[in-house]
Amino acid sequence: MTFEDKLALHNTDHESSWIGIAFGLFNADICRKEGLFFDEDFFMYSDEVEWCYRLKKKGYHHFFSPDCTVLHLNTGSSPDSVWRNGQVLISEYLFLRKAKGWLKFLLFLFLLWFNLFIDYVLGVKNIFRKKNVFTIRGHNKNLFFMKLLKNYGFKILLKYNKKPSSALNFLKYDI
């Protein structure tokens, strides 16, 4: 989908796969009847994606309307971009684990580790050839992702259930 296609969607009513809940209308009775509440394992980010995923699996639909809009200032609740990037990744990993199961998440971790290893090998070659290595605000990308995987990858795999918890054991990324 091109940028123009995405922009055109913002001018039309359409069904979407998920909605940002910062501005969403829904029937609370449906949530009570189906037992579909927000998953408390998510500290921040991807919580509404996971919630909408479970609603969609139950047969409910999500719609976007351009007639009602809200301006959401990005990173308002987490202005530090390194922290925000880390928390977004952790939440996306947790969503993948809960939505697709531990086997697919384990395969994902393996492929991610393999990719980081290949990037590291190529990165060493780039350093010797004096090419720029991609950085995130002064942090080496590979080291950043390796730290996240080391600290959280297997914790997500083993600790968090596939079903939503109610134990308030949310996963928060701390620098």
Distance, CA of 2 to CA of 7 (rounded, Å)? 9
Residue 36 lies in a domain: yes
Residue 49 lies in a domain: yes
Q: For the chain, what is the domain count?
A: 1
Q: What pLDDT shows up at residue 44?
A: 79
pLDDT tens-digit readout, 139-148: 566 677 777 7
As a whole number, the mean pLDDT across the chain is 75
Sequence-distant (6+) residues with CB within 8 A of 38 are 47, 48, 51, 164
The SS3 call for residue 64 is strand
The SS3 call for residue 26 is coil
DSSP state of 152: I
Contact indicator for 118, 137 with CB cutoff of 8 Å = no
Residue 45 lies in a domain: yes
Distance, CA of 26 to CA of 100 (rounded, Å)? 25
pLDDT tens-digit readout, 96-141: 888 888 899 889 888 888 887 787 777 655 555 555 555 544 456 6
Q: What pLDDT shows up at residue 25?
A: 74
More confident residue, 46 or 119: 46
Long-range contacts of the stretch 82-89 (C-beta < 8 A, 24+): 82/136, 82/137, 82/139, 82/144, 82/175, 83/173, 83/175, 85/136, 85/144, 86/144, 86/148, 86/173, 86/175, 87/43, 87/44, 87/45, 87/172, 87/173, 88/45, 88/46, 89/145, 89/148, 89/173
Beta bridge partners of 16: 62
Q: What pLDDT shows up at residue 5?
A: 80
How many CB atoms neighbour CB 85 within 10 A? 18
**Containing domain of residue 143, as a range?**
3-159
Instruction: Answer whether residue 151 shows pLDDT above 70.
Output: yes
- Separation of first and last alpha carbons in the chain: 35
Residue 165 lies in a domain: no
Q: What pLDDT shows up at residue 141?
A: 64
Whether pTM > 0.85 for this model: the answer is: no
> Which one-letter amino acid corresponds to residue 97?
R
Q: What pLDDT shows up at residue 26?
A: 77
Contact indicator for 4, 130 with CB cutoff of 8 Å = no
Q: What pLDDT shows up at residue 42?
A: 81
